């Protein structure tokens, strides 16, 4: 089964059009000649963003990611957040053209399936069709442990309540996304709607439903004890890791 694109067409609401145009202009001006293409994912390009509640998710594709200085990128973000309070947060991912083309089940999946191109030539069109398979699911989760360990560390050491809330929400979403990847062969589609992810996990995963419900509740309202959350998160990740290892072993045994 071939994965289809999450966002088939760009529908940016009027409240966000100037912001998106300004972001593109700022990036192209600041990193002149270094940018191959710019992409978005999430609620803004889908046309479902909620003013003062939704964030903006961009991906920059270039020849060499080292050409994009993070401090200069952060300055652009700070200026735009001040000018456009309708946006709560701006996240920008940077990757190379080679990343997208040489890792079709990782960066290729991200650009081809999750994102839509808002500037430049869509390099995702050069990525071959992505077939849902155990290999794809394993490749998709190559960096999941590293990402989970990182956010676990950030949350464990966070002293500011605002950051704790943000990390718990992000950690919950990341774990739900990881669990959802396990049931892709059952659903046949990639979802970016978290409640649809949750429901599919409950339908197809053998994990304790109470753990999934807890993560979803934390995603909606992150006002929970950090120690309690980390305990549940560790339990969920342990289930996920065991399932992934079983998938890898099964794939090896069947050649």
pLDDT digits (tens, 9 = 90+) for 118-164: 999 999 999 999 999 999 999 999 999 999 999 999 999 988 888 89
Q: Which of 25, 28, 29, 24 is nearest to 56 (CA)?
A: 24
Q: Which of 60, 111, 110, 58 is nearest to 89 (CA)?
A: 58
- The H or E element spanning position 209 is helix 209-220
Cα three-residue angle 47-2-4, rounded to 5 degrees: 5
Q: Which of 69, 102, 131 is the last residue of a domain?
A: 131
My answer on whether 97 and 141 are in the same domain is: no
Question: What percent of the chain stands above pLDDT 90?
Answer: 89
Report yes or no on 9 lying in a domain. no
Q: Which of 81, 112, 131 is the last residue of a domain?
A: 131
Q: Which of 13, 85, 80 is nearest to 43 (CA)?
A: 13
My answer on whether 121 and 30 are in the same domain is: yes
Report yes or no on 60 lying in a domain. yes
My answer on whether 87 and 143 are in the same domain is: no
Q: Which of 222, 231, 91, 215 is nearest to 168 (CA)?
A: 222
pLDDT on residue 166:
87
Q: Dihedral sign for Cα 87, 197, 94, 61, please.
A: negative
Q: Tell me the pLDDT of the chain averaged across its residues.
A: 93
| pLDDT score of 200 more than 80 | yes
Predicted structure pTM score: 0.84
How far apart are alpha carbons 196 and 202 in whole angstroms?
Answer: 10
pLDDT on residue 253:
58
My answer on whether 142 and 249 are in the same domain is: yes
Q: Which of 79, 103, 131 is the last residue of a domain?
A: 131
My answer on whether 85 and 158 are in the same domain is: no
Which domain covers residue 123, as residue numbers? 14-131
My answer on whether 118 and 22 are in the same domain is: yes
Report yes or no on 1 lying in a domain. no
My answer on whether 56 and 125 are in the same domain is: yes
My answer on whether 174 and 220 are in the same domain is: yes
* CA 61 and chain centroid, separation: 16
How far apart are alpha carbons 44 and 87 in whole angstroms?
Answer: 10
How far apart are alpha carbons 68 and 156 in whole angstroms?
Answer: 30
- Residue 73 sits in a domain of what CATH number? 3.30.460.10
My answer on whether 122 and 109 are in the same domain is: yes
Band of pLDDT at residue 69, cut at 50, 70 and 90: very high
Report yes or no on 4 lying in a domain. no
3-58 pLDDT, tens digit per residue, is 999 998 899 999 999 999 999 999 999 999 999 999 999 999 999 999 998 999 99
| pLDDT score of 254 more than 60 | no
209-242 pLDDT, tens digit per residue, is 999 999 999 999 878 899 999 999 999 999 999 9
């Amino acid at each position: 089964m071939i994965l289809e694109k999450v966002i088939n067409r760009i529908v940016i609401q009027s409240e966000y059009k100037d912001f998106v145009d300004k972001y593109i202009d700022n990036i192209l001006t600041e990193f002149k000649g270094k940018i191959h293409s710019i992409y978005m994912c999430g609620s803004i390009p889908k046309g479902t963003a909620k003013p003062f509640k939704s964030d903006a998710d961009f991906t920059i594709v270039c020849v060499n990611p080292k050409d994009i200085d993070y401090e200069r990128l952060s300055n652009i973000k700070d200026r735009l957040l001040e000018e456009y309070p309708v946006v709560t947060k701006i996240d920008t991912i940077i990757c190379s053209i080679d990343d997208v083309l040489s890792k079709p089940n990782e960066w290729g999946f991200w650009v081809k399936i999750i994102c839509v191109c808002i500037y430049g030539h869509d390099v995702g069109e050069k990525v071959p069709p992505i077939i849902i398979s155990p290999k794809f699911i394993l490749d998709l989760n190559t960096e999941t442990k590293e990402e989970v360990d990182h956010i676990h560390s950030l949350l464990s050491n966070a002293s500011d309540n605002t950051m704790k809330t943000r990390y718990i929400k992000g950690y919950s979403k990341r774990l739900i996304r990881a669990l959802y990847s396990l049931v892709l062969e059952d659903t046949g589609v990639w979802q970016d709607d978290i409640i649809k992810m949750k429901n599919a996990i409950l339908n197809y995963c053998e994990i304790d439903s109470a753990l999934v419900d807890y993560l979803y509740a934390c995603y909606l309202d992150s006002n929970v004890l950090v120690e309690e959350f980390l305990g549940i998160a560790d339990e969920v990740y342990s289930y996920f890791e065991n399932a992934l290892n079983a998938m890898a072993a099964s794939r090896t045994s069947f050649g």
